[in-house]
Structure 1
């Protein structure tokens, strides 16, 4: 049984961190009973691409693994930011992976049925821009045929593509799973609907979680495109008007909504790019509550949580998660930061006017 097996996910745990600092240890299945009528839950419906590609660096004849890490230009879906490695596989820790063959602009990469060219070398031997020589349809067909999900050493068994798709996965757009969405299932969504809790989706290109190099990891997350539909914007406006909370399922949803936010808490529909980091001094205009995975200090996901909670509370939560042996990584347990944010405070102030 792999870590992403459904039975394993249904046994997952949930740590709820309340506004007064108390913490509750619950089965994650109790998520259906949480939140209040009128609250709006927003999730990322991006399906995960098979973004790990093995092949040959044509000039040297050496083995190379390319992990697609970001869309370079949304109008041209065949160009990507990528991380490259030499021989090895996911069973080797990412930080111990060998460097790729020496790369040069114009080098060809033969990746199964696909061929790509190195268009640009960034300021790190693993970081490059590449363009597939195939058209869009052939590229996606080649990814489906040859690509595999990006995978790390904490899951030794090979993952299939469906292991990294959430229940609401739709458009193939993410490079790693928007894994907070693994907490959702149709029973939970149905229970929320019965209780008057609204649900909406957006599509965000969730990026990679590790490059294997601390200096490069410090730049994460890379710029990530998103798409927010008019119906989601309308539901957010309605929730704000009645003083209800907007609950983000995952840090990718926080990034997208806050990137599209106006200072008054309204959200712009359409496509955009989430750039920069959300961190301790970031004012949140839309999201009131976030459900996320178990993240470690220093990770970009953890840095984002500093916009929701102060360092003392985050340290207390980390200690509780460690003491309780909560599972980390994308198939792990969940944490709900059920805390007032600047967005919540703005709603409360407006409702008193």
Structure 2
């Protein structure tokens, strides 16, 4: 992977706008975050609080959630070569699942060889299948598979945490309330602010809900030498038939499909036939969505605020022009919105979607 060219959306993010922990740890509610509504046509912005999301979606619209659940994906292991201990406390981060027992992982500050053995616990080992110097991820084969592997991983691991996080928040803080299918190595963070109370209120107001599953891969490889682009990251997904039926009915009735997170956009836009019609589908996707991509399924996006030059900003450019994104992000910085997985939320949607709503708090 070569270094990426200059990104069209770059900006300076003040360090004090990094959300360092979840709202609940500060005595607030999970949904006590700010909401910026960005008109995808005009670039106009509206500022509100996330619990008032129902003011900006219509009865009959469909919110699509990613029900992938976060794995504890960071481990400390012992490394053996030819039966001899060569390193202890080696940090391993899960990157991409390839099968029930094979993963690609990121090894921090250690060199390995094919056949090396990693000791996770007395019950779990892994063996190096392949390691290439020109690639950041190493392929390993676990001694357990399926549910037995997941059970052991949950006993041993911790969530992946980045430098802006101020404390070792537990795995439960890295979950959405509706996540049910273990598989993501990083939190599907756009949906984190939802509470069951808000979801129920939205549903009672006539907003529909549907599910997909997309298991996120590792977003950062520990060095700017490696740029993680969508085309580099195959992610496993499933769009079930009942969700496809809800999409069909919503579009026929004139409602809008609103994705909760970029992962949902990627899954829904991958699950189409040759004519761009939604179909039930499962598999792996490395679909890269940018300003040149014509969205076939999704009409609006609920997402967090993304780092400068992040590949997620490419996807936002399919909804609204890069120039309008830059303007909106400048306003978000000026008005002190918070970034990252525990931060504030941005709804990108056409103006006619949020001029009126029958929803009441």
Q: TM-score, normalised by structure 2?
A: 0.85
Alignment pair present for 1:191 and 2:213: no
1:103 to 2:125 alignment: no
Q: Deviations over 1:196-240 (max 9, x none)?
A: 111001111022221122242243461001111111010001111
Q: 2:92 aligns with which of 50, 66, 69?
A: 66
Match of 2:6 in 1: none
Q: Does 1:3 align with 2:24?
A: no
- Of 257, 261, 273 in structure 2, the residue corresponding to residue 262 of structure 1 is 273
1:140 and 2:146 matched: no
**Correspondence 1:242 to 2:253:** yes
For residue 8 of structure 1, report the CA deviation from its aligned partner: 5.4
Deviation at 1:264, TM superposition (A): 4.5
After superposition, residues 193-212 of structure 1 pair within 5 angstroms as 193-212=203-222
| Shift of residue 78, structure 1, vs aligned partner | 1.2
Q: Which residue of 1 aligns with 2:35?
A: 14
Q: What is the CA-CA distance between 1:22 and the residue it aligns to?
A: 1.1
Q: How far does residue 126 in structure 1 lie from its aligned partner after superposition?
A: 3.8
Taking the aligned partners of 1:124 and 1:219, their CA distance within structure 2 comes to 16
Other structure's SS at 1:217 match: coil
Task: Confirm whether residue 55 of structure 1 aligns to residue 66 of structure 2.
Answer: no
Q: Select 2:349's aligned residue among 311, 329, 338.
A: 338
Q: Which residue of 2 aligns with 1:178?
A: 188
Aligned partners of 2:213 and 2:238 also within 8 Å: yes
Q: Which structure exhibits the higher relative contact order, with contacts defined as CA atoms closer than 8 Å and separated by 6 or more residues?
A: 2
Q: Given that residues 95 and 218 in structure 2 are in contact (C-alpha distance below 8 angstroms), is that contact kept between their aligned partners in structure 1?
A: yes
Question: Of the candidates 89, 94, 105, which is equivalent to residue 82 of structure 1?
Answer: 105
- In the TM superposition, what is the alpha-carbon distance from 1:316 to its structure 2 partner? 0.4
Contact 1:33–1:191 (8 Å) recurs in 2? no
Does the residue aligned with 1:255 lie in a helix, a strand or coil? helix
Q: TM-score, normalised by structure 1?
A: 0.87
Q: 2:311 aligns with which of 283, 291, 300?
A: 300
Q: Spell out, residue by residue over 1:122-156, the C-alpha distance to the aligned partner (whole angstroms, 9 max, x if none).
A: 44464211110123333112101101111111112
Q: Distance in 1 between matches of 2:274 and 2:320?
A: 20
Which blocks of at least 5 consecutive residues in structure 2 are unaligned? 1-19, 354-361
- Output the aligned Cα RMSD: 2.0
Q: Indicate if the aligned counterparts of 1:15 and 1:334 stay in contact, CA closer than 8 A.
A: yes
Partner of 1:89: none
Give, in angstroms, the shift of residue 290 of structure 1.
0.2
State the distance in 2 between where 1:15 and 1:263 align: 35
The answer to whether the Cα contact below 8 Å between 2:220 and 2:228 also exists between their aligned partners in 1 is: no
**Aligned equivalents of 2:45, 2:145: Cα separation in 1:** 51
Conserved? CA contact 2:266–2:287, under 8 Å: no
Compute the displacement of 1:70 (Å): 1.1
Deviation at 1:194, TM superposition (A): 1.7
CA distance in 2, matches of 1:266, 1:38: 20
1:33-44 aligned at under 5 Å gives the runs: 33-44=55-66
Change (3 A) 1:218 1:175: closer
Q: How many residues align?
A: 324
Deviation at 1:164, TM superposition (A): 0.8
**Residues 30 and 194 in structure 2, CA contact (< 8 A), matched pair in contact too:** no
